[in-house]
Structure 1
Amino acid sequence: MGTITESNIIQVDFGGDDRPKYVVVESAVRAAIARGDLTPGTRLPPVRDLAWRIGVTPGTIARAYARLTDSGELEAQVGRGTFVAEPSGPAPIYREFQALEVDSTPHNTGGDVYEVNLLSPHLPSVGQARLIRDLLKEVAEDPPSGMMHYPSFASERPARAAAAQFLSHPSLGPVEADDIALTHGGQHGIAMVMQSVLTGRRPVVLVEELTYPGFRRMAETMRAEVVPIAMDSDGLRPDALEAAARQVDAQLLCTSPEVHNPTARVTPEARRREIVAVARETNLQILEDDCYRMEPGPLPSYRLLAPERTWHIASIAKTITPALRLGFAIAPSGRQVALRRAAEYNSFGMATPLSDLMARLLVHPDLPELMDETRRMVSTYAEAAADILSGYDLVWRQDVSFLWLTLPVGWRASAFCRAAEAAGVKLRAAEEYAGRDTNAPHAVRFAINAGVSLDSFRSAIRRLKELLDNPQGGLDV
């Protein structure tokens, strides 16, 4: 990311142009972005520098920058400057899953500090990549579904049967192959459920006040209103859920009871039963996101507690690999046809080579051992972080690939994230999981990045500890 210093990149010509000068400057910057001269992430000249170069007042440049920032073409970062923003529109969901293999890039300090990306989990490679490559070769040489036909519900049945076996656990309840729709990852499963459930011109979706951003963004894509529900240490508050459901005539509740994202907490069974009672009383459907669970838990799922209204979403992204974009959606009793229709209307189904791969991968005899080793390594990294940050308000679990850190007095989440990035560590502020009208706590979420060495990971966590031990003083002005 560089800074624009050449005066000819932003070409401003006031001659014969009757528009206000700030509008002319605004158009010139916009044109430079359109030409590709100013690419996303480029830092623009400071206001006074550009004003001096083109012969206008600093106020003219400041107003042009402000208008471009309001329209989303520029982004102002406090204390750093003004930058060309990413293409306009909501932040893409895929940023939640960016590749994190950065173990060898020196960061600012003579080569002894490395940038470590802890934005999203990165699984260790313990042999699953080799297994997938071998199975892909088998599928390519002799594809059971052929290579010249559209996918169909019938052709996907071996993959769905394998998925039913893969997902089978007492906490989930009985799962048959025909209950499952194959999805292109968990986010696609969320989209399919919302397409199956939401009706009317302005449906209402309820989410936890801190929640996975994909719930909100997909609901907004469906032109739904998103209403956050207050939480306590056990998860959603039943009284707040019931009040909101009745007040706004909500249709769907999106929740993650087994591994809440971002706080890593689990919703106790008693609270789950209270939530189910409210859902039945107010006729709410439940979308249960189970994508972060690395191994089956002992508590009954919402699907087991309320099979008539729970839509269960899972994927292999946090247990095997996110690269294949393979996931599963399970419909409530009697709603399988609606979910199947959503899958067919979206894409006719999963590409046949992928469904053939899934049919072999999910029941391969080597897979359980590989998944156990993955969990063991994630646990090793999580324990290392917890040991270094001992004494701080940290929520972590051995089978969860991220941690939740409440910051000590003196730190705000956004400031802490900026300081951490300056120290070569990227993490997420609580604000990223809160709605616009929700007061986010001063907390951060950071993920296990097992794509870097354990030593590099420990070094990154020690840098976070150094920041925590020395909170910022003074006031931001």
Structure 2
Amino acid sequence: MRSRSTLLEDWNKVLSSCDKPAYLAIAEAIELEIQRGVLQLDDRLPPIRELAKGLNLDYTTVARAYQEAQHRGLITSKAGVGSYVRIRNSNQLEAEPTLIEMTMNMAPEPQEPELLARMRHGARHVTEQGNFHRLTRYQDFGGTEDDQQAAAVWLNGVSPHHKGRTVLVTPGIQATLAGLMNGLVGAGNTLCAEAITYPGVKAMAGLLGIRTLGIPGDAQGILPDALEAHCRINKVRALYLNPTIQNPTTRTISETRRREIVEVARYFGLKIIEDDPYSKLMHNPPTSLASLAPELTYYVNGLSKTCSAGLRIAFLVCPTELESKRIASSLRATQIMASPMCSALATQWILDGTAQMCLDNIRLMSQRRQLIARRILGDFKIETNPEAFHLWLNLPSAWSQSAFCGRLLNRGIAIASADMFCLEGATPNAVRLSLGGNLNDERLEHTLRIVAETLNSYPANH
């Protein structure tokens, strides 16, 4: 594929000499360059915003052009992944495949009739008991006393430090992390995180005007010496960590490394945001950072990865009761409250055992799917955890992550490339695959065989 500057120059000429609407002119320019062999299979097109700026057009026009090109079967587009050429020439049009979504890291969905019946029963019970209006009114931020007690029950075993403290019930982990980043760091200030980290942190930091610094690590977790060096040079306000079955690498920070990190944080008075949604997937999770440094740590857990992705309920434990009140006031200003309906359902499922059954079921399905993945992808360099529902795949040198994602997207499979997760430094040539969501075992196996087949093939321009 020619350089983007040359591509923009050619397309500007097409637009200036064409009397058709700009979106049609762009689509036809893509088709012409495919016919000429300038654009080839798996070539990545410029992002919509970049192209709009280069062609002096608005975002909507370019987005419509890409939609038109996709409708003609020329390209495949996926938000967060990009737009790729999907045919070698315009005579090879084929039906658009049904997209297999592996970019969102969702837990496997329970299918057992008994469990589904329990979930439905709990939902009916919540809406039918007592005063229905209590579920439709505003409530104080942090949940009712019953909600907070249920949250404390759920946190037993993964972070026992919460006993005797208020557990705030919040509207999902993502919203809670955004509130903590805003309240603890703030615009213009610095947050440290793993160099390869949860992409939501990148997005939220950008929106909030927060500077992020990536801390390098190894199989045991971030390097304490590197964290210390950053803290000596920069005025770091907080450290974000996803320490257990990390997204995307599945790594878990070792017990020893956790204590070393806490030692550095204590020395510099560094606040720790512990994002811990996957720890309950492990039968024997390591000691939480919050248990090692309760005076520094803001501990966040929830139900999205262990019960239901659509149940947007999270649990937050702050270092002190006074800080809990301050953070609750800050979160209330932007989030009002967690949905009383969702909070009541979460409480019902926790107390009647349904949430634990969901967790047990997700564990079993995740373990089974990891075995499938190892059987099919075992000859390749993968990193994973037996109790996770995602894996980190290091690509062979023949494939770039961009070309590999594009080739799979052309085959109807959407995966997440490493550049989505990297804060700074060299981006590893890797991708993350989610094994959960609505895929059943049979469809997952079929999908992973396509991934393996693609790994063993060569890029179009190899």
- TM-score for both structures, normalised by structure 2: 0.79
Cα distance change on mapping 1:469 and 1:247 into 2, 3 Å: same
Question: Which of 245-254 and 354-363 deviates more?
Answer: 354-363
Q: Write the distance in 1 (CA, Å) between the matches of 2:235 and 2:20.
A: 45
The amino acid across from 2:267 in the alignment is: E
Matched, 1:399 2:387: yes
CA gap of 1:152–1:109, structure 2 versus 1, over 3 A, is: same
Distance 2:19 2:267 in 1: 54
Aligned to 1:326: 313
Partners of 1:328 and 1:161 lie apart in 2 by: 11
The 5 Å alignment of 1:176-195 reads 176=163, 178-195=165-182
CA RMSD of aligned residues (A): 3.5
In structure 2, the CA distance between the partners of 1:192 and 1:393, relative to structure 1 (3 Å rule), is same
For 1:268 and 1:45, locate their aligned partners in 2 and report how far apart those are by CA, in whole Å.
55
Paired residue total: 411
* Partner in structure 2 of residue 386 of structure 1: 374
Matches within 5 A, 1:28-427: 29=22, 44-46=27-29, 67-68=54-55, 74=62, 115-120=99-104, 121-126=106-111, 128-143=115-130, 146-147=134-135, 149-152=137-140, 156-169=144-157, 171-176=158-163, 178-199=165-186, 201-293=187-279, 294-295=281-282, 297-334=284-321, 335-427=323-415
Distance between the aligned counterparts of 2:244 and 2:135, measured in 1? 39
Q: CA deviation at 1:213?
A: 1.0
Match for 2:445: what amino acid? R
Deviation string, structure 1 residues 227-255 (Cα, Å, up to 9, x no partner):
11122222211111111122120101111
Tell me by how many angstroms 1:356 deviates. Answer: 2.2
CA distance in 2, matches of 1:313, 1:179: 13
Tell me the equivalent position of 1:452: 439
Match of 1:10 in 2: none
Counterparts of 1:236 and 1:298 in 2: how far apart (Å)?
A: 18
TM-score between both structures, scaled by the size of structure 1: 0.76
Aligned counterparts of 1:263 and 1:278: Cα–Cα separation in 2:
23
Tell me, in whole angstroms, the C-alpha distance in 2 between the residues paired with 1:329 and 1:45.
52
2:431 match: secondary structure: strand
Secondary structure at the residue paired with 2:338? coil
Shift of 1:114: 6.0
Deviation readout 1:96-138 (Å, 9 max, x if unpaired): xxxxxxxxxxxx9899x86422112342223555433322222
Contact preservation (8 Å) 1:44, 1:84: no
**Counterpart check, 1:440 vs 2:427:** yes
Deviation of 1:266 (Å): 0.8
Pick one of 405, 416, 420 that aligns with 1:428: 416
Deviation per CA, 1:365-396: give whole Å up to 9, x if none. 34323321221012111110111111211112
The verdict on how the C-alpha distance between 1:275 and 1:26 changes in structure 2, with shifts beyond 3 A counting, is: farther
The offset of 1:411, in angstroms, is: 1.2
CA positional deviation for 1:148? 6.2
- 8 Å Cα contact 1:393/1:407 also seen in 2: yes
Greater RCO between the two (CA within 8 Å, min separation 6)? 2
